Structure 1
Amino acid sequence: MYLNPSARSWTAPAATSDGDPRAVHRELPGFAPTPLIEVPDLAKELGVRRLLVKDEHLRAGLPSFKILGAAWAIFKGLGGTTSLKDLKVDPETTLVSATAGNHGRAVAYMAKLLNLKAHIFIPAGTAPARIEAIRGEGAKVDVVDGDYQQAVERATQRASENPKALLAADVGDSMTPIWATQGYRTILHEIDEQLTEAPDLVVVPVGAGAFASAVVQHYRSDGARPKILTVEPDSAACLLKSLQAGEPVNVPGPHPSKMAGLNAGDVDTHAWPYLKNGVDAAVTVTDEETDEAMRDLADKDIVAGECGAASLAGVRAFREHLTKDSIVVLISTEGVHGISR
């Protein structure tokens, strides 16, 4: 476990205004705010006043929150200014990205929605269901003999070779990770609207850290300043090790966790300054702990995949830091693959 007692007093730099991602999100077929579900039994187990789960198992027809970042990043990358329907794009454009599953599927879905092509690079060892889900959206998929970082490198190279390609990444040095992070804040605006009082703790699963940096940017500006707890697989704890070292640390693969979307060996360069300064605590969890959390959430009629259930496993590891007055929000970032629209 890592603790940063000064995180709540840090103020994130003011975000640049690139428009309102929520306006574009509302144009997505089937878009609606996802539920914030109160779970009194889990609150009782942890000895807190309230525990709520932000359930992202079905977001605009896809089984994770990733469509929020992908849609806004692609919209901005294609020169969008007002709405999706007003985009003027070359139908020969190819959206290129690396993924551990959910982001690639979201990119492929956006390509299909906009009548574009998609080329997705995915690490070897990714569950076949994730790969087939991306192909099912009409994308070309290359399985990379390596880890997520190597998939990112392959995607970046491929995009550089194609003058009609847009690198629709959510990590790396391009602008699209910044735009993706802006898109993820729709989740946090919804929590603000759905929760009648400010949370004391927000728990977020972490891979390379783009979404977690959105959480930090949101809660380290004006308004509520809850503690932020990040959760990673014990076999891919790049953020925890980086926080402990005070600088980005690579965790070499292979990363075998079933929490596929969290299997990252490096913290994203855009995300790192926010995470270093604004995260209060970081923990790691095992596959066995997330399996148990999945079952317990399913018992409460909440559909959560391994990455989504990591939030519950993580707050259980953090329970000694909770109080009887705590209001805890768990962000469950994905559903079970094979269960979608």
Structure 2
Amino acid sequence: MTPECAIKDGIMTATSDINRDRIAATEAVIRPHVRRTPLIEANLADFGLTAAPVIFKLEMLQHSGSFKARGAFANLLLRQVPQAGVVAASGGNHGAAVAYAAQKLGIPATIFVPEITSPAKIERIKGYGAKLMIAGSRYADALAASEAHLARTGTMAVHAYDQAETLLGQGSVGLELEQDAPRIDTLLVAVGGGGLIGGIAAWSAGRTRIIAVEPELSPTLHDAFAAGAPVDAPASGLAADSLAPRRVGELMFPIARAHVERVVLVSDDAIRQAQNALWSTLRLVTEPGGAAAFAALLSGRFRPAPGERIAVLVCGANTTAVNFSG
């Protein structure tokens, strides 16, 4: 496939620039600031499924409770941050990550979130010392408010998924997984705006089969694949504060089209059951978006072939619910 470009904030970026070399270079920059998250090996028989090994990448143990810290540090360390600081719009996890990174680096941060943001994520953002602003009912409303703030103040915007540095930072998850579990055939990844799967797919570049998982009520990448370009999609459901940005990013889409095999849609009930199963079987606390990738396996929406070596990315744990099964 020939290189493709996307225009973001008036700047043309070649998506071919989001590649293994740049991800590796970014990983070296952010390494002192992020955790190398662990793997847990289990068997699908433990969850009542046909016996097969499965590896869970525990990115919910990352600083600030999700993988988002990687992209946040990449932005703040690789870009020139103005004295006015940074601004971000978020369903919660990105805001917490930017607030955390900004606190560690001594940078002022203002975070806009929608009304649907969970109390756990709001408390995270406040706890890291950022200025919190609640704007509108959905992520798109918070994004619009953050852009107005940007125009007024001269701060630097840190986009949750449609920024080259964000994808480069998230791509370090793929680098770690390849180093720690080099024999994986297939990786299941939940999708919201697509920064995570875009970065991982750019790192993998076809070396690993990548399956995207989305809620049925927020089919952003599914609808983009069907339309041939990012389009507005429904944005609701149990995981709306992390997997419902309305549309995927322009930068990630050509990468996903080249290197993501397909999208699997899962119901809210399946996501809830996956949360319960991860807690009751492995004692892993996950938010709905964090459990969505495993929901594809547990519900049977994705069935591994005999002998296929599967990994699941557990990407977030910012929730106040712990004992899901009572």
TM-score (norm 1): 0.82
Which of 285, 289, 308 aligns to 2:266? It is: 285
Whether the 8 Å CA contact 2:44–2:53 is kept in 1: the answer is: no
> Per-residue deviation at 1:326?
0.6
Amino acid in structure 2 at the alignment position of 1:101: G
Moved over 6 A (4+): none
Matched residue, 1:170: 160
**In 2, Cα distance between the equivalents of 1:205 and 1:259?**
12
Q: Gapped runs of 5+ residues in structure 1?
A: 1-11, 80-89
1:338 deviation in Å? Answer: 4.7
Give percent identity, aligned residues only: 26
> Secondary structure of the equivalent of 1:39?
strand
CA contact under 8 A between 1:48 and 1:322: conserved in structure 2? no
Letter in 1 for 2:221: L
Residues 143 and 15 of structure 1: CA distance in aligned 2, closer, same or farther (over 3 Å): closer
Residue 207 of structure 1, CA deviation: 0.3
Cα 1:232/1:104, change in 2 over 3 Å: same
How far does the alpha carbon of each residue in 1:76-117 deviate from its partner, in whole angstroms, 9 at most, with x for none? 1227xxxxxxxxxx6x43210000111101111122112221
Aligned to 2:40: 37
Please give the alpha-carbon distance, in whole angstroms, between the structure 1 residues aligned to 2:181 and 2:103: 35
Q: Distance in 1 between matches of 2:285 and 2:59?
A: 9
Distance in 2, Cα, partners of 1:268 & 1:275: 10
CA distance in 1, matches of 2:218, 2:209: 23
**In 2, distance between residues paired with 1:44 and 1:325?**
18
Letter of the aligned partner of 1:100 in structure 2?
A: G
Deviation by residue 1:41-76 (Cα, 9 ceiling, x = unmatched) = 45885436421000112213x211110010011111
Partner Cα distance (1:113, 1:320) in 2: 40
Q: Does 1:267 align with 2:253?
A: no
* Residue number among 248, 257, 263 corresponding to 1:276 in the alignment: 257
CA distance in 2, matches of 1:125, 1:338: 14
The amino acid that maps onto 1:201 is: T
* Cα separation, 2, equivalents of 1:333 and 1:151: 22
Q: 1:275 to 1:318 in 2, by over 3 A?
A: farther
**Distance in structure 1 (CA, Å) of the matches to 2:170 and 2:29:** 12
2:120–2:318 CA contact under 8 A, matched in 1: no
| Aligned match of 1:331 | 313
One-letter amino acid of the counterpart of residue 32, structure 2: E
Correspondences of 1:36-115 after superposition (within 5 Å):
36-42=39-45, 45-47=48-50, 49-60=52-63, 62-78=64-80, 92-115=83-106
Q: CA deviation at 1:157?
A: 2.4
Alpha-carbon distance in structure 2 between the residues aligned to 1:159 and 1:14: 26
Instruction: Say whether the 8 Å CA contact 1:48–1:326 is kept in structure 2.
Output: no
Q: Is the 8 A contact 1:98 1:121 kept in 2?
A: yes
Which AA in structure 1 matches 2:65?
Answer: P
Conserved 8 A contact 1:43-1:50: no
TM-score (norm 2): 0.85
**Between Structure 1 and Structure 2, which shows a larger proportion of helix residues?**
2
Which residue of 2 is the match for residue 305 of structure 1?
A: 287
Residue of structure 1 equivalent to 2:225: 243
2:114 match:
123
* Greater relative contact order, per chain length (Cα 8 Å cut-off, separation 6+): 1
RMSD, aligned α-carbons = 2.4
Are the aligned partners of 1:120 and 1:141 in contact in 2 as well (CA < 8 Å)? Answer: yes
**Among 215, 218, 233, which residue is 2:203 paired with?**
218
Structure 2 segments unaligned to the other structure (5+ residues):
1-14, 322-326
Distance change in 2, residues 1:36/1:152 (3 Å) = same
Map Cα deviations across residues 135-159 of structure 1 (whole Å, 9 max, x no partner). Answer: 1111111111132122222212211
- TM-aligned CA distance change 1:126 to 1:44, over 3 Å: closer
